[in-house]
Amino acid sequence: MSGVRDHAGGEGLLLRLKRLVARASVADSADRGRLLVLLDDIETTRRGLLRECAEIEGEMRRAAARTTAIGAYLRGSQAGRGRPQN
């Protein structure tokens, strides 16, 4: 299907976030420059994950709408043939 997309980017972002959190746990609080770079990297990764979440949420909404439409079509086709509805 053309609507199917690869979620490897999101998996990569999650792995990157884990690595950044590990780096943050051992970071020296006296090195302000490195901490600022680390915070920026974490924020960039967070924004990427939020974008990925929004895209997945949109896909889920479209899938739910398709499912509803297919169910309505099925019920309509069964009603037209005189079959009992489930």
Q: What DSSP line would sit under 25-79, residue for residue? A: HT--TT-HHHHHHHHHHHHHHHHHHHHHHHHHHHHHHHHHHHHHHHHHHHHHHHH
C-alpha to C-alpha distance for 74 and 72, rounded to whole angstroms: 5
- CA 46-65-82 angle, to 5 degrees, is 160
Q: Supply the pLDDT for residue 10.
A: 84
Residue 1 has pLDDT above 50, yes or no: no
Cα separations (Å) of 16 from 13, 22, 45, 53? 5, 10, 7, 16
Confidence of residue 84 (pLDDT cuts 50, 70, 90): low
